[in-house]
Structure 1
Amino acid sequence: MRMAVAGGTGMVGRHVVALAREAGHEVVVISRADGVDLTTGAGLDEALTGVDAVIDVTNIETLSRRKAIDFFETTTRTLLAAEERSHVRHHVVLSIVGVDRVDSGYYAGKRRQEELALAGPVPATVLRATQFHEFAAQMLGRVPGPVKVVPAMLSRPVAASEVAAELVRLAEGPAQGRATDLAGPEVLKMPAMVRRLVPGRLVLTVPAGRAMSGGGLLPVGDFRRGEVTFDEWLAAR
């Protein structure tokens, strides 16, 4: 197949690109670095020529509801319109477990992305995954200084590489609408994960809201279970 990966230079996107190529697919990377702008559509029609499936792992780092909704609505509408013109057969989106139970600004943007994809002109699949193991390391980078302040999030973290593999597997098949959620093998608190990353450092826990700290980010019902534990990921890292 010929697959396009929107956001293919990001953390998850790099895994998706590598795994899709390992599986024998021809891969097109959609990013500004590759001459494609999803906010304006510049270069997008050319990038999607002959593409069978698009995997959307685009992202924005913001806590602003307005910015998140604007970004995901603009990029999704632009991408879907170009896919329809190019006769793309399958649109795959990465979303988040609990996005409909946690009312944060960023999650509002992801909910809008899901709505547009599932109601759009191209058959779509939405995969909701839990937070990545890598999220703990990203959180460290956002908090300068020797003392780390971490929200009391309760999650079932999963390796980004396993999420990428599932996205490629889904893209290879027909559209499913909402796919089965993907979550990691164990329930962990984010402060505990950060402490394992920086042993001996002072890590302070701050409230994260009832939904995030009380299980709102955990899968409900059936879900696909990742195999890589946080300690295994940490050892490999």
Structure 2
Amino acid sequence: MTNIKKIAVAGATGRLGKHVVDVLTEQGHEVVAFSRKNGVDIETGAGLVEALAGVEVVIDASSTPSADQGIATEFFTAAARNLHDAGQRAGVQRLVVVSIIGIDTSVAGYNAAKLAHERELTKGPLPVQILRAAQFHELVEVMTQWGTQGDVAYLPTMRTQLVAARTVAEALVDLAVNPAPAQTDGPFPEIAGPQPETMAGAATLLAAKLGGPAQIIEAGGEDNPDREAFENGGLLAGPHATLAGPTFAEWLDATYPAK
């Protein structure tokens, strides 16, 4: 058994964080699970030093519900500074943080905010391991809901390599328990699903499983400054990535079994 006894999870109730907590618990680790819901706010730092008492590693799976670049950037950069500050004061040894594949050239929206997050993280005093992940299977339903007008859902033209949040959680825990050598150059490690897919294609499979929306339309992203990366493979896994199932179709069947 690993010598890590106590691991904290920021964003523990979120789409990814809840899986991280599950994996850590299944492996027998002592888990400090926190989020705003239990009074610990990584954006303001409230309650953070106390929550990190005795913690050796923090896994940051937190997110923001806003895709607005300014709001998301403010959240992520403040969170990075606070985790470094509180973590150093509490004796934390390392931070393990999730990011997004293909954001190196991002200039807009949530992806640009995560790029700012990465840069802020690397400025801090604590060692940081960043794992870049593809878009989650779970995001397809969210984007379908965002784009639905009546019986039609408009999905952005987007190539991705969809991966299950549980799969990403397992990779984050592995980094927390078995730290990789300090990274001085080269690309960040990546985790992605086993095959490239389009967001609209995945939404079509989801709609067939759930009985709607009736029509999925792939809409052009003329107003998206990052359109080139979205449409032409910039969000796909690099050659060094770890590829892991299930596929989106397999995940759908497991998540929404036939009645």
**TM-score w.r.t. length of structure 2:** 0.87
1:139 aligns with 2:157: no
Q: Which runs of 5+ in 1 are unaligned?
A: none
* SS in structure 2 of the partner of residue 36 of structure 1: coil
Q: Report the CA distance between 1:48 and its aligned residue.
A: 0.2
Q: Report the CA distance between 1:92 and its aligned residue.
A: 0.5
Paired position in structure 2 for 1:166: 171
Following TM superposition, the consecutive aligned residue runs of length 4 or more in structure 1 with deviations greater than 3 angstroms are 175-179
Equivalents in 1 of 2:56, 2:38: separation in Å? 19
* SS in structure 1 of the partner of residue 46 of structure 2: coil
1:189 aligns with 2:198: yes
Q: Report the CA distance between 1:103 and its aligned residue.
A: 2.7
Q: Report the CA distance between 1:179 and its aligned residue.
A: 4.4
Q: Report the CA distance between 1:143 and its aligned residue.
A: 3.2
Q: Report the CA distance between 1:45 and its aligned residue.
A: 1.1
Equivalents in 2 of 1:39, 1:157: separation in Å? 28
Q: Is the 2:60–2:97 contact (alpha carbons within 8 Å) kept by the matching residues of 1?
A: yes
1:16 aligns with 2:28: no
Paired position in structure 2 for 1:115: 119
Q: Is the 1:150–1:206 contact (alpha carbons within 8 Å) kept by the matching residues of 2?
A: yes
* SS in structure 2 of the partner of residue 198 of structure 1: helix
Paired position in structure 2 for 1:97: 101
Equivalents in 2 of 1:35, 1:62: separation in Å? 20
Equivalent pairs counted in the alignment come to 237
Measured on the aligned residues, the alpha-carbon RMSD in Å equals: 1.4
* SS in structure 1 of the partner of residue 16 of structure 2: helix
Paired position in structure 2 for 1:205: 218
Q: Is the 1:185–1:225 contact (alpha carbons within 8 Å) kept by the matching residues of 2?
A: yes
**TM-score w.r.t. length of structure 1:** 0.95
1:81 corresponds, among 81, 85, 92, to 85
Counterpart AA for 2:233: G
Counterpart AA for 1:83: G
Q: Report the CA distance between 1:132 and its aligned residue.
A: 0.8
Q: Report the CA distance between 1:37 and its aligned residue.
A: 1.3
Deviations 1:12-34 (A, max 9, x none): 00000010011111111121111
1:157 aligns with 2:162: yes
- Aligned-residue identity in percent: 41
Q: Which runs of 5+ in 2 are unaligned?
A: 222-226
Paired position in structure 2 for 1:45: 49
Q: Is the 2:145–2:153 contact (alpha carbons within 8 Å) kept by the matching residues of 1?
A: no
Q: Report the CA distance between 1:78 and its aligned residue.
A: 1.0
